[in-house]
Structure 1
Amino acid sequence: MVIPVHDVNPVRRTPWVTYTLIAANVVVFLFTPGLAGSAAAGDHLARLCQLHAFLDHYAAVPRELIHHQLPGTVPTGAVGIGAQGPGCLVGPPGYAKSPPLSVFTAMFLHGSWLHLLGNMLFLLIFGNNIEDRMGHVRFTLFYVACGYAASYGFALLNDTSSDPLIGASGAIAGVLGAYLVLYPRARVWVLVPFLVFLPLRLPAWLVLGFWFVLQAVYSSGEGVSEVGTVAYAAHIVGFLTGMLLAWPLRPGTPPPPEPRGLLFGRRARPRHSW
């Protein structure tokens, strides 16, 4: 897996929407009840119960999205003592949940610092150029549309699942798909783990194409022992949606500048011919 750190593709305007999305995701994470390192404190079981209750309210659930089957009892966030010992109490929901709206709120929820920072890194590197090309308003609508397409696409493939679906990955996958369509030749500095992290400057089509193939392999279950809790299918749907929505902008998109004289982050010395 390569880690992108910078792209050689300057923008003409400040990407305020991208910065706002990053700030919003960080703030929501810091104040998500029950997450270790968030503003909510307490012992492990109490935090776990708080997190379950929060996600049941604000996360997208495939079964709810497709069948609108809302549960009759949900975690209350409190700890109780049952026949098998301490556990999370359940009871009737004290709120009215809208499954379509939960897709939007779920796009700002993350389960760990690694989950959050990984998503925000990709958004920061690739989102500014897509916002620059589309404009602030269109980029906002594009981002939300990709997030919804990714969530509902995953839900259609897993319509009986009651596991919460959270994260900005689907929407950001749409940004990556749009970048591949609009700036395939842009150079991206990446870190490749090979004994040490080796810095390389690679074309965007190679970096993002490899990322997409990796998601497809993981989604099929090949190359991993267990797919786990990552919604790889949502990444694929979001990526393809981003490509489709960005395609009409391709003819009028100016190519990125071609960097010259750079080698592994340092300016190479000019060669003289004698």
Structure 2
Amino acid sequence: MIPIRDSIPCLTRPYVTWAIMVVCVVVFLAMLIMPDHMAQRILYLYGMVPIRYTHRAWAYDFGLPYDYYLSFITSLFIHGGWLHILFNLVFLWIFADNIEDLMGHGRFIVFYLLCGFLATYAQWYFSQELVIPVVGASGAIAGVLGAYFFRFPYAKVLILVPIFFYPLFFEIPAVAFLGFWVILQLQEISTAAMFAGAATSSAWWSHLGGFAAGALLYRFFIKSNSATVEE
């Protein structure tokens, strides 16, 4: 299911959301055009490599500073491929503007980065031996989804369901769409637990950690005079 739009109007311009999207795109394109060895170095230096913080000797041998914890934040602006960044941009475009509207620009960026940090920490905690970089805005976006889930559960989300080559469009409540998204994360984590040696391309713990952080923390960031429309 691919979300197309939601039914909640945005009462202010989401400058922070737009800025986050621009930074992600610029970083992605810059890494595409730079030499492979340089892009790989950036990926490991600014992406969050869990084993780097678990085993200092590994970090030392690999030439990475083990005490560089900013990677828990910088990793949020690095993406590993076209589909990775495109899906994250779509989710940001549809859901983040309403949460920024709800909180205001300053509070939203703090909320976004805090959820991203906690999401990345959750991924480190549950996969401390992982030797590949964890990158992408998904964890922070999951925090936005957690806030949206509880603040706008009955908003309508238009989704695209491709059946073979025929696109079908449905309008469903946000609580159903985001609830399905959470179930998918739980299913993937369960599968990964059953097949411990299986390779994975997504940081499922980061997604769930970010969603939980957003669901728990969003109420502390809402503007007291918020006039956001709810459905």
Q: Which residue of 1 aligns with 2:34?
A: 40
- Percent identity over the alignment is 37
Are residue 217 (structure 1) and residue 182 (structure 2) matched?
no
The residue type equivalent to 2:98 in the other structure is N
Distance, in Å, in 2 between the alignment partners of 1:68 and 1:61 is 12
Are residue 129 (structure 1) and residue 103 (structure 2) matched?
no
Higher relative contact order (CA 8 A, sep 6+): 2
- After TM superposition, the structure 1 = structure 2 runs for residues 16-55 of structure 1, keeping only pairs within 5 Å, are 16-32=15-31, 38-40=32-34, 47=36, 49-55=37-43
The residue type equivalent to 2:99 in the other structure is I
Shift of 1:227: 5.2
The residue type equivalent to 1:138 in the other structure is R
Q: Are the aligned partners of 2:147 and 2:215 in contact in 1 as well (CA < 8 Å)?
A: yes
Q: Which residue of 2 aligns with 1:244?
A: 216
Shift of 1:98: 4.2
The residue type equivalent to 2:203 in the other structure is A
Are residue 103 (structure 1) and residue 67 (structure 2) matched?
no
Q: Are the aligned partners of 1:63 and 1:69 in contact in 2 as well (CA < 8 Å)?
A: no
Are residue 60 (structure 1) and residue 54 (structure 2) matched?
no
Distance, in Å, in 2 between the alignment partners of 1:73 and 1:240 is 35
User: Residue 31 of structure 1 aligns to a residue in which SS?
Assistant: helix
Q: What is the aligned residue count?
A: 225
Larger Cα-atom Rg: 1
Distance, in Å, in 2 between the alignment partners of 1:202 and 1:256 is 16
Q: Which runs of 5+ in 2 are unaligned?
A: none
Distance, in Å, in 1 between the alignment partners of 2:228 and 2:99 is 12
Q: Which residue of 1 aligns with 2:60?
A: 72
The residue type equivalent to 1:17 in the other structure is V
Distance, in Å, in 1 between the alignment partners of 2:60 and 2:12 is 49
Q: Are the aligned partners of 2:158 and 2:172 in contact in 1 as well (CA < 8 Å)?
A: yes
The residue type equivalent to 1:237 in the other structure is G
Distance, in Å, in 1 between the alignment partners of 2:174 and 2:29 is 32
Q: Which runs of 5+ in 1 are unaligned?
A: 33-37, 42-46, 75-91, 258-274
Shift of 1:68: 5.1
Q: Which residue of 1 aligns with 2:205?
A: 233
Distance, in Å, in 2 between the alignment partners of 1:220 and 1:244 is 23
Distance, in Å, in 1 between the alignment partners of 2:87 and 2:113 is 19
User: Residue 107 of structure 1 aligns to a residue in which SS?
Assistant: helix
Higher relative helix content? 2
The residue type equivalent to 1:234 in the other structure is S
- After TM superposition, the structure 1 = structure 2 runs for residues 158-177 of structure 1, keeping only pairs within 5 Å, are 158-177=127-146
User: Residue 191 of structure 1 aligns to a residue in which SS?
Assistant: strand
Deviation string, structure 1 residues 49-88 (Cα, Å, up to 9, x no partner): 33332222111111234555562233xxxxxxxxxxxxxx
Q: Go from structure 1 to structure 2 and tell me whether the alpha carbon gap of 1:216 and 1:9 turns closer, same or farther (over 3 Å shift).
A: same
Q: Go from structure 1 to structure 2 and tell me whether the alpha carbon gap of 1:199 and 1:250 turns closer, same or farther (over 3 Å shift).
A: farther
Q: Are the aligned partners of 1:219 and 1:227 in contact in 2 as well (CA < 8 Å)?
A: no
Are residue 13 (structure 1) and residue 8 (structure 2) matched?
no
Distance, in Å, in 2 between the alignment partners of 1:68 and 1:247 is 38
Q: Which residue of 2 aligns with 1:201?
A: 171
- After TM superposition, the structure 1 = structure 2 runs for residues 254-265 of structure 1, keeping only pairs within 5 Å, are 255-257=229-231
Distance, in Å, in 2 between the alignment partners of 1:243 and 1:65 is 27
Q: Which residue of 1 aligns with 2:119?
A: 150
Higher relative strand content? 1
TM-score (norm 1): 0.75
User: Aligned-residue CA RMSD in angstroms?
Assistant: 2.4
